[in-house]
Chain A
Amino acid sequence: MAEVKKRSRLKNARGWLFVLPGLLFHIFAVAIPAVLSLYLPFTEWNGLSMPTFNGLDNFKQLFHDSIVGAAFLNNIKWALFWVTVPTLFAFFLAYLLNKIKRGQTVYQSIYFSTSIITVTVAGQIWLWLYNPFSGMNFYLDKAGVGFIDIPGLTIPSLSIFFVLIADMWKGFGGNVVWLLAAMTQNDKSLEEAAKIDGAGRFRIIWNIILPQLRPTLVIVTMLTVLNSFGAFEMVYVMTGGGPAHATETLSTYYYKLSTTGRQAGYGSMVALLQTFIAVVLIAVYGYLRKKKGWDV
């Protein structure tokens, strides 16, 4: 009996040995920084010297900082855009792809190809296209249709949408793949039955396809919204949050505060706000999943 226990303990110890490297990495690279990130927002810290506790000063500053408000609004615009235009576009393309019998993989690869381009390169491509003196407008003018003027990044209030178009170009292929994969799992007999009963194409989409896709759409939408509140790369590459914070997001703002701004303490407070938003969104998703049965 004792021998069995000893073997079992040894087996457990071996298990821990295998887990240990990963566990230590997680403790030092994730857990400790995560706990520290709950303390840093309440400090004055330039990112170099030791942080000094300053109570709720950063919290108060957060509510007086107009840039935080503008950045938050841009994150909302980002989320609204991504859950509508690219998602509908991806759904439409996935629906069409699902209908074709030949060359589906080729089209899928083409749509997905932009997703494998790095953000830096994608951003630079769109910067060239948007260049008001040598980009799309220049060639439209050469083609004799100079009356079509694409503002690109020249109108600050519209800049965020043109950055979004670049981001959509880079990222919508992923949604197409997700939705297409879900559509191929749909029960085709339901569509056939609806057709025999005389249902039109729109009714089939609305009453047969969409309800079956709901779990995928819920998770795609959830991830899209969460990603939207972390929007950083494309904005940083294309505009750096400018001009005059017109394209600022919470992520670009706290990055700048923490690095060039040397206000890592306050930057952490802005990051904490972003985490709080993510927690609220996840809680809403949890509620919908539990109470409304929006299971995935």
Chain B
Amino acid sequence: MNHRFPKLLTVLALASVFALSACSSSSKDGKANGDANGQEAEESFTLKVPDAEIWGEESSALQTMYDAYEDKHPNIKLEQVTMKDDQTLAAALVSGEATDLMLMDPSAAKERYKSNYLAPLDAYYSKYGWDATMYKWAKNAYVEDDKAIGIPWNYEGLILMYNESMFKDNGWTIPTDYDELMALVPKIKAKGIMPFAWGSSDNPGVDDWWVTSIVNGVLGPDGTKQLFSGDTKWTDPSIVEAIQRYSDFWNAGYVTDKKSYAISQDDSMQLFLTGKAAMRLDGTWSLAADNEPDFDIDFAQFPSWKNDGTPVIPLGVGGGLVINAQSEHKDAVAELLNEFFSPEVVKTMAQHGIPEPIETDYGAMDLKPNVSKALDMINDAAKEGKSGYVAWSYGPPRVVQVLESDFPSVYLKKTTVEAWLADLQQKKEQDVAENRIFDLANY
């Protein structure tokens, strides 16, 4: 008889008991603690949340939100987890290791909601009244199958940043349409200055900003809506002509001397900040950056790509906060999300040039002059019906994927404009067939 076997069993059983008890005292125990007054305190557990430093200064509002929540809920610990990119987040979701609260762009959120990875938030919207002051178009970026699936993080627009001192010294005026732009850029080039600084080597996706600005300027807000979600085709002659114009513009050396794909966005910003370039296409999110060149910087609406058109500011949401469907503490995450609308967080977001898409009095906040001006410009454009739609928020997913990866094929003449746009149209039709487009009623 082997006497060691029962001993081994005893040791294993004891080890199991210890292991289980260790687990139960960790993050997901849900035990209740009594407080000093003898009242029943809330459960003690840990919520996994996105790293507040994921986007540097731009995401610092998350820390404000976390601090406010932890002050009110001392028993709930927030564990910040770094998901370095969307691929990492996708892998974490599939393996069940994603955070309880997540940052996600609208198209990815919709895909993941359809695959049951995200929780619907309608009940929380009703409970907390999040949409009382939220812009409807922004909320709709996170609506799928009539269900709210996320909270839009911010709104942002594409603008023209320019070297104000250089423009003043040379007596140049800001172009508002294609004709004015084409009259100005040869003058800038003749001075040995690049008209536009642009770089996409580190992120080809930014080329999407040009296409977004071009189609908004040519079609206007309603036409852009129709292009993204309605009957207007990507092969429409006005789009063909506009994209061809950009290809000619790029090949004339007006954009980083035909070397835009060989340098990064940061490098192109350096070209602008050192006075080697006169203008940049940029986003409102960069206006809070503390750049201190030895000249004045100003910004304006990006010129229309139509001969005598009027500028349109394409707007969209930069991302959103969503709740993991597998989270065991959805109610607690929703309460954390509610802090997103606290005055401190709203102020922090606005100070970084990424305002929350809610109606609020920004005039009462201490904002940088550039940020205030941008907000005023966006508000004025919206009132006049001159605010459009960015492709990364509203475009068909397959189309956006091509815009963000393959636009150089056009200006490097690896394909024809017609063939490239025909491919986009085909991809749009695939998305329409699979019901993956942004609903026209939700704009």
A interface list, Cβ under 8 A from B: 46-49, 127, 130-134, 152-154, 156, 238-240, 242-246, 256, 259-262
Contact = CB atoms under 8 A, between A and B. Distances in A.
B201 A153 contact: yes
B73 interface: no
Interface stretch (B208-216, B255-263, B331-339, B386-394): B255-263
B155 interface: no
B28 to A, nearest CB: 24
B264 A48 contact: no
B408 A133 contact: no
Contacts of B397: 262
Contact of A154 (B112, B259, B406): B259
Interface in B66-95: 86-87, 90, 93-94
Contacts of B406: 244-245
B90 to A, nearest CB: 6
B114 A132 contact: no
Contacts of B264: 127
Contacts of A239: 201
Given A130-B262, A240-B204, A260-B404, A48 B90 contact: yes
Task: Name, among B112, B257, B397, B408, the residue most crowded by chain A CB atoms within 10 Å (CB to CB).
Answer: B408
B267 interface: yes
B263 A261 contact: no
B111 A244 contact: no
12 contacts: A46-B111, A131-B262, A132-B263, A134-B267, A153-B201, A154-B258, A240-B202, A242-B200, A243-B262, A243-B412, A259-B90, A260-B87
A47 B90 CA distance: 8
B263 A131 contact: yes
B401 interface: yes
* Prevailing SS type, chain A contact patch: loop
Given A240-B204, A242-B201, A243-B408, A133 B276 contact: yes
Contacts of B87: 259-260
Interface in B230-275: 257-259, 261-264, 267, 270-271
A45 B93 CA distance: 16
Nearest to B271: A133
Nearest to A259: B87
B401 A261 contact: yes
B414 interface: yes
B117 interface: yes
Given A47-B90, A48-B93, A153-B261, 19 more contacts: A47-B94, A48-B90, A49-B114, A132-B259, A134-B270, A153-B262, A154-B259, A154-B262, A239-B201, A240-B204, A242-B201, A242-B261, A243-B204, A243-B261, A245-B406, A256-B405, A259-B90, A260-B401, A260-B404
B412 A48 contact: no
Interface string B90-126: 1001100000000000000001101101000000000
Contacts of B416: none
Nearest to B257: A132
B173 interface: no
Contacts of B257: 132
Contacts of A132: 257, 259, 262-263
Contacts of B414: 244-245
B401 A262 contact: yes
B25 interface: no
B342 interface: no
B133 interface: no
B409 A245 contact: yes
A152 B262 contact: yes
Given A244-B409, A244-B412, A48 B262 contact: no
B412 A156 contact: yes
Interface in B375-419: 397, 401, 404-406, 408-409, 412, 414
Nearest to A261: B401
Contacts of A134: 267, 270
Contacts of A244: 406, 408-409, 412, 414
Contacts of B114: 49
Nearest to B404: A260
A260 B405 CA distance: 10
A156 B94 CA distance: 37
A242 B270 contact: no
B263 A133 contact: yes
A172 B115 CA distance: 46
Contacts of B408: 242-244
Contacts of B86: 259-260
B251 to A, nearest CB: 13
B342 to A, nearest CB: 33
Contacts of A48: 90, 93-94, 111-112, 115, 117
